[in-house]
Amino acid sequence: MMFESLAEKMDQTVRKLRGTDKMTEANIGGALKEVRRAMLDADVNLRVVNQLIADVRERAVGQDVVAGVEPGQQFIKIIYEELTRVMGKDAAPLSTRAAGAGPTVVLLAGLQGAGKTTAAAKLALYVKSRKAEKPSAAAALEANPPPAPPAPTGPPPKVLLVACDVYRPAAVEQLQTLAGMIDVDVFTDDLSLGAVEIARRGLAVATEGKYHTVIIDTAGRQVINDKLMRELRDVKAAAKPDETLLVVDAMTGQEAANLTRAFNDDVGITGAILTKLDGDTRGGAALSVQSVSGKPIKFVGTGEKVERLEPFFPERMASRILGMGDVLTLVDKAEEAMDAKEAEALTKRMVDNTFDFEDFLKQSKMISTMGSFGGLMKMLPGVGSISGQQMAAAEQKLKLATCLINSMTPTERKQPDLLASGGRPPPASPASPAARGGRWPTPRRSCRTFSACAR
């Protein structure tokens, strides 16, 4: 888990500070040293770590503990606020053009393998699904909810992907495949025209076709070189993008931050998309990018699938880093996954005490579309301390329960008591399945199903 050791250190600190009435150098000095080490282990940039520790120390030492608040909690609150500040404090949403001002242009840059082409498709789906326009469901739960804009109406925004990686025909094909999966148009042309000309033509098509957003995928390189930077500067000058986003791989730790600074100094960017945050990343990139480059992380990639893109919220990330969960993102995900009417009906059935196994199945299906079980659980406060093994065991149990319910007939799902009263009667052959109230699986078949599920 990202920043696992930092979350653990925080937990220990809270326990150590229990019973103290003032935070002093003596009682928080050791904790700060540990936090510093945990951050360096997570590959956070040294300058960022030193500044953060100095700021926390200055704010914490000598502070009287507020009555009714645990000193450890107060210390964590200071760290939480400083982490949020280091990551940019406020979320930086995608800039979009006003209606009638032509398509919003997004230029993507990055090294090979960072996840640029995947990010282009993810972003296209994000815009097409109106997530950029919709207020976050969680926003309403925040302390000062912003006024909700009117709900968007009409057909989904049209997005055009422009394939400008003129050196790798395979990259063009990859973009076409991904675009096919999300039903988004791709503009390609003769690669010998060069990236600048293809970008120009793509933009003309987008303006003519009244597209809402154009996303330009450019060529990547294994390392930064002059030719790459020159080409990017030229495409940027021709396309005049509203957003120039650098796609960086979180697994490269603080190197991601250095890269963001280098691209910003040379080409000028408006932000970064941090990919592979679902992987075995130590998390240093998330904390270093804004501080080192001065540019915000706008999105994070949390999986290979095209749906796995989340806007970046510094406060929510600070909360995750400290093992405090991220309920707001969980609320957003739930809203995306669940049909509002269906969710309301299920809630009503729970309140009325008529929630049955059919409802349970529907709900677990909805949850499975929200992401990996482990990933979702970590968004709940306190669950960060549960080991991966315990999480896997819980997931297995849920799978098994789903499998058992799947093997029940529709009648049994509505009236599980039928099974409690002496088990199932042998099927009265040759009655039709309808007469039997549904399908009776043969014992062999259900056995096989269970063992496959339990694996």
Query: In the complex, which residues of this chain contact ligand GDP (CB under 6 A)?
Result: 110, 112-118, 174, 220, 275-276, 278-279, 301-304, 308
Long-range contacts of 97-101 (CB under 8 A, 24+ apart): 97/242
State the minimum distance, in angstroms, from the CB of residue 167 to ligand GDP. Answer: 11
Cβ-count burial 166-184 (b if 16+ within 10 Å, e if not):
beeeebbebbeebbeebeb
Residue found under tokens 């729970």: 350
Nearer to ligand GDP, 13 or 174 (CB): 174
Q: Which is nearer to ligand GDP, 115 or 202 (CB)?
A: 115
Nearer to ligand GDP, 78 or 178 (CB): 178
**Which lies closer to ligand GDP via its Cβ, residue 116 or residue 413?**
116
* Nearest distance in Å: CB 117, ligand GDP: 3
Establish how many alpha carbons lie within 13 A of residue 64's alpha carbon, considering only the half-sphere containing its beta carbon. Answer: 3
Distances (CA, A) of 275 to 39, 111, 344: 20, 12, 34
Which helix (H) or strand (E) segment is 204 a member of? helix 195-208
Smaller CB separation from ligand GDP, 7 or 120: 120
CA angle 123, 143, 380 (to 5 degrees): 65
Least distance from ligand GDP to the Cβ atom of residue 301, Å: 3
Least spacing, CB of residue 304 vs ligand GDP, in Å: 4
What beta strand segments (E) does 210-315 contain? 213-218, 243-249, 271-275, 297-301, 309-311
Least Å from the CB of residue 303 to ligand GDP: 5
At residue 335, what are phi and psi to the nearest 5 degrees? -65, -35
Using the minimum distance from each CB to ligand GDP, give the nearer residue, 115 or 323: 115
59 exposed, middle or buried (CB, 10 Å; 0-12, 13-18, 19+)? middle
Beta carbon nearer to ligand GDP, 32 or 172: 172
HSE (side-chain half, CA atoms, 13 Å) at 370: 23
Could you tell me the smallest distance in angstroms from the CB atom of residue 248 to ligand GDP? Answer: 10
Question: Kindly report the CA angle at 282 between 277 and 285, in degrees rounded to 5?
Answer: 65
Label residue 382 left, alpha or beta by phi (over 0 means left) and psi (-120 to 50 means alpha): left
Q: Measured from the CB of residue 113, what is the shortest distance to ligand GDP in angstroms?
A: 5
